Amino acid sequence: MKSLRMLLLLYLEHIAGLGYAKSTAELTKMHLEKFISCLERENITDVREITENELKGFVKELKNTDTRYKRKFSLSTVNRSVCCLKGFFNYLYLSENIFINPVEELSLYEKEIQKAKRIFTLSEIKSFLDSIAENTKAGLRDRAIFELTYSSALRLSEVLNLKLEDINLKERVIILRQAKGKKDRYIAINEMAKKYLNLYIEKVRSRDEKKFNNDVRSFLFLTTRGRITKSYISKKIKLYLKKCGIEKKDLSMHSIRHSTATHLLEAGASIRYVQELLGHESLDTTKIYTHVMMESLKRVYKIHHPRENASYEEITEEYLNDVRKLKEKIEERKAINELIDKRIQDFIIEKGK
């Protein structure tokens, strides 16, 4: 009988062959090694001895354990561990290393809906982008980076890994390459992003790329030292926030992505479109932006409703039309939220099977 650690190695080879990202494989290894170490403390070395009780006991222990930062593990972390266990034992069952699958009754914990991250307002994102000088090479590069990020709600990793061949300025489309076995995503870019990408490629990148080998040269965004890095982006965000006088804390590259999603919803975009743009597999993740939208609608209502104001103004037909539109938006968002709630419950039930 193969040892637990040997079976883990075989499983890691299996998921690598399926095209899982290296980071996913490393995370899976970490969770499963923690589980195996727990079993070894109980002198369980034979995979056939593992029952549903051992699995549930491990998950319960994980849920109640303090981290090194004196906090409990988040439900997301616990659920990741559950998913890793389910994947591992499903593999063992299908490969006939075990004949009874102990994870069949193992369920995910229901997660609380996350709050949306801090975002830029429309005026703030405009000030931020306009603060980037266009009369320098670095300025053109940075303007192209941040215009593209805001245009297409890109993740930091997607910006860093974008290659020149992945962008089609004529059609205003970029391709986000996915891991093996997953579909590539095609994302539109707006005219402003196209403008600054053109300027960057023609006036800056065409000079910088000559310094590097083909591997480095293939990436879209280059500095005089090579590919742009996380630290480069972080420093630039702090620089331009200070330059335009925005004092909000915790604004980051991801805040720009969140801002795009929120601004699209506020402008009436379908949540399905936003889900597709962001690359979310579940509406569970996208739903956080509808809460932001509802808060925005409440603020508008508070400003315009006569009973919310200190002084009463005569109600005009124009005002009534505005209220009707606002009411329609609120009802639409309520319907969307109800649909999302149902989808989330269905998703949780399905994942728990």
Catalytic positions: 155, 180, 254, 257, 280, 289
Using CB atoms within 10 A of its CB, is residue 216 exposed (0-12), middle (13-18) or buried (19+)? middle
Nearest to 140 by CA among 218, 224, 203, 212: 203
Q: How many CB atoms lie within 10 A of CB 114?
A: 12
Say which residue the tokens 């480095």 belong to. 216
CA 260, chain centre distance (Å): 13
201: DSSP letter: I
- How many Cα neighbours within 13 Å face the side chain of 110? 7
Main-chain dihedrals φ then ψ at residue 239, nearest 5 degrees: -60, -50
> Whole-angstrom distance between the N-terminal and C-terminal Cα of the chain?
29
Q: Are 179 and 187 in contact (CB under 8 A)?
A: no
Main-chain dihedrals φ then ψ at residue 208, nearest 5 degrees: -70, -35
Main-chain dihedrals φ then ψ at residue 165, nearest 5 degrees: -70, -15
State the Cα–Cα distance between residues 187 and 173, nearest whole angstrom: 6
State the Cα–Cα distance between residues 249 and 81, nearest whole angstrom: 32
How, if at all, do strands 167-168 and 173-176 pair?
antiparallel
Three-class secondary structure assignment of 170-205 = CCCEEEECCCCCCCCEEEECCHHHHHHHHHHHHHHH
What does the angle CA 235 – CA 241 – CA 246 come to, to the nearest 5 degrees?
155
State the Cα–Cα distance between residues 26 and 33, nearest whole angstrom: 10
Q: Enter the tokens of residue 77.
A: 């972390």
Q: Are 187 and 152 in contact (CB under 8 A)?
A: yes
